[in-house]
Amino acid sequence: MAIEERSSAINASALQTNLRGQVIQKGEAAYEAARRVYNAMIDKRPALIVRCADVADVITAVNFARDHELPLSIRSGGHNAGGLGICDDGLVIDLSLLRYTHVDSDRRTARVGAGCTWGDVDHATHAFGLAVPSGIISTTGIGGLTLGGGLGHLTRTYGLAIDNLLEATTVLADGSVVVASEQQHPDLFWGLRGGGGNFGVVTSFLFRTQPVDTVYAGPMLWELEKAPEILHWYQHLITTAPEDLNGFFAFLTVPPGPPFPEHLHNKKVCGVVWCYTGPLDRAEQTFQPIRQFRQPALDLVGPLPFPALQSMFDALYPPGLQWYWKADFVKELSDEAIRLHMQHGPQLPTLQSTMHLYPVNGAASHVSNNATAWSYRDATWAEVIVGVSPDPAQKETITDWARAYWTALHPYAESGAYVNFMMEGEGDERVRAAYRENYERLSQVKRHYDPANLFRINQNIQPAL
Ligand SMILES: Cc1cc2nc3c(=O)[nH]c(=O)nc-3n(C[C@H](O)[C@H](O)[C@H](O)COP(=O)(O)OP(=O)(O)OC[C@H]3O[C@@H](n4cnc5c(N)ncnc54)[C@H](O)[C@@H]3O)c2cc1C
């Protein structure tokens, strides 16, 4: 039976009867808003969206999709650039109602429902002077970001999000529920840490929290013409700095509004967004040589609560923009790579388009490449080139710029990219390249937990034969 015939034959009211949550179908008032994801370039029309209220609902939805042979996608925060949280003609498990964060300050852990955004987690943990390492935008979902790895402001200090994951409660393809940890289902736990949504639906995450409260952080910007020397200097600094200093490099356009001074509005610049987590009374001293290297055009670095850093760029990137991403891991910025960055980076086609180099060294590199599914611990950066625009008419412009930039730099990068920075449909070879020598083991774990590849709307790992 074709997918369309199957989806018209499904009895959604029978499904609704077994749920505490809600089934949303095509034609219903809530459908249009419910199918929308963060990247407005994605326009998929699922047959059913199941807003699960609890684990029992997730089990019911998994069983229903499997028994009706429906394509199945899993949605946590809906931020995936390739739109992997949603699907055409299938069933979407929407986890947004599973929204709770319980902090145990004695054990320094946080149990987090799969529908939380990182802003929810930051809010709950900050009250105890704690934080879970995550990304750089507070509206991103914890589900996709964690299962893909999770890198951000605390990576050099406390590792990836997965390095702070202790347990994942997971609904498997057969509808059973397991808790994966180092002790229980260790093979599944290994695969979940980087393998994305390939193995099941994680309904709750138990994280180790870290003592992060007020940080000394923010953006420091320099004129574009200084970018080559800043890149050379930054490369040396970030590969030798103490691990309590994080900083990602960016080409960006200065937004036309406060807190940016008028003379910089709409100017293309380069910058580093710093996050220092060491003792505050040593912060000025740590930044003295940084500030002395080249006079910044703007220095907004200072003490601020960690959640303020985490949400600093939210307003610049509201939901509903067009996004096109290209990514790679990078070990070294050679002179030629810097020359090519200077050729493409300053051509940013829109206000929100950018190129970021996120350090994955420091604490993240203390874990070996095969200790978790995330195989690029030996890279220095995760590079991402993002074309972003509010205007659908600029879709081609932003896509062409990101592709040309990536194509020029790819020969100077590793063959694989961070899965969370990849678009849909980049191909099996790119997925294999993302996991390198870990792919074969992932494929075995997939065969054990999801032999029929029910969970395939993701950067898909094929079950071993
Ligand atoms: C503006 C922006 C900033 C970003 N910044 C960072 C960053 O700083 N660091 C970083 O590491 N990444 C970052 N990302 C990338 C981000 O990690 C991915 O887009 C991720 O997929 C988003 O997770 P989500 O839950 O919101 O996505 P969704 O679209 O909801 O889900 C994406 C996929 O993840 C899987 N998934 C999600 N939840 C579950 C679950 N509970 N169980 C099983 N599978 C699940 C599914 O395969 C799903 O298709 C950013 C993305 C955006 C758009």
For the segment 171-228, what is each residue's pLDDT rounded down to a tens digit?
A: 999 999 999 999 999 999 999 999 999 999 999 999 999 999 999 999 999 999 999 9
> Containing H/E element for 219?
strand 214-223
Question: Rounded distance, CA 12 to CA 23, Å?
Answer: 7
Nearest residue to 420 via CA among 144, 134, 17: 144
Site to probe by mutation for ligand 1, drawn from 44, 76, 317, 388 as the one with most ligand atoms within 8 Å of Cβ, is 76
- Residue 7: pLDDT band (50, 70, 90) is low
CA–centroid distance, 335 to ligand 1, in Å, is: 33
Question: Rounded distance, CA 159 to CA 282, Å?
Answer: 22
Site to probe by mutation for ligand 1, drawn from 79, 156, 179, 421 as the one with most ligand atoms within 8 Å of Cβ, is 79
Are 65 and 74 in contact, with CB atoms under 8 Å apart? no
218 lines ligand 1 (CB under 6 A): no
Share of the chain above pLDDT 70, in %: 98
202 lines ligand 1 (CB under 6 A): yes
The mean pLDDT of 66-90, rounded to a whole number, is 97
pLDDT of residue 6: 57
Question: Rounded distance, CA 34 to CA 44, Å?
Answer: 11
pLDDT of residue 11: 84
CA–centroid distance, 418 to ligand 1, in Å, is: 12
Provide the sign of the torsion angle of the four alpha carbons 292, 296, 300, 306, taken in this order: negative
pLDDT of residue 5: 54
| Residue 443 pLDDT > 60 | yes
Instruction: Provide the CA 210 distance to its chain's centre, in angstroms.
Output: 19
Question: Rounded distance, CA 45 to CA 181, Å?
Answer: 35
Site to probe by mutation for ligand 1, drawn from 138, 420, 431 as the one with most ligand atoms within 8 Å of Cβ, is 420
CA–centroid distance, 81 to ligand 1, in Å, is: 8
Site to probe by mutation for ligand 1, drawn from 42, 140, 171 as the one with most ligand atoms within 8 Å of Cβ, is 140
84 lines ligand 1 (CB under 6 A): yes
What is the per-residue pLDDT across 279-327, written as a single tens digit (0 to 9) for each? Answer: 999 999 999 999 999 999 999 999 999 999 999 999 999 999 999 999 9
Q: How many CB atoms lie within 10 A of CB 164?
A: 23
Q: Give the end-to-end CA distance of the chain in Å, rounded to a whole number.
A: 25
- Residue 12: pLDDT band (50, 70, 90) is confident
For the chain, what's the residue count? Answer: 465
Provide the sign of the torsion angle of the four alpha carbons 231, 382, 349, 275, taken in this order: negative
| Residue 1 pLDDT > 60 | no
Architecture label for domain 16-94: 2-Layer Sandwich (3.30)
Cβ neighbourhood burial of 110 (10 Å; 0-12, 13-18, 19+):
buried
pLDDT of residue 9: 60
- Kindly report the protein residue whose alpha carbon is nearest to atom 19 of ligand 1: 80
Same fold, 100-211+435-449 and 214-421: no
Question: Rounded distance, CA 159 to CA 27, Å?
Answer: 45
| Residue 8 pLDDT > 60 | no
CA–centroid distance, 420 to ligand 1, in Å, is: 6
Question: Rounded distance, CA 171 to CA 204, Å?
Answer: 10
| Residue 329 pLDDT > 70 | yes
In CATH, which of 3.40.50.300, 3.30.465.10, 1.10.10.10, 3.10.310.10 is domain 100-211+435-449?
Answer: 3.30.465.10
- Residue 3: pLDDT band (50, 70, 90) is low
CA–centroid distance, 141 to ligand 1, in Å, is: 6
CA–centroid distance, 178 to ligand 1, in Å, is: 22
Provide the sign of the torsion angle of the four alpha carbons 27, 31, 37, 39, taken in this order: positive
247 lines ligand 1 (CB under 6 A): no
E-assigned strand segments in 52-189: 72-75, 91-94, 101-104, 109-113, 165-171, 177-181
Q: What's the farthest any 2 CA atoms get from each other in the chain?
A: 68
Question: Rounded distance, CA 331 to CA 354, Å?
Answer: 20
Each domain of the chain, given as residue ranges in start order, spans 16-94, 100-211+435-449, 214-421
CATH class, 214-421 region? alpha beta
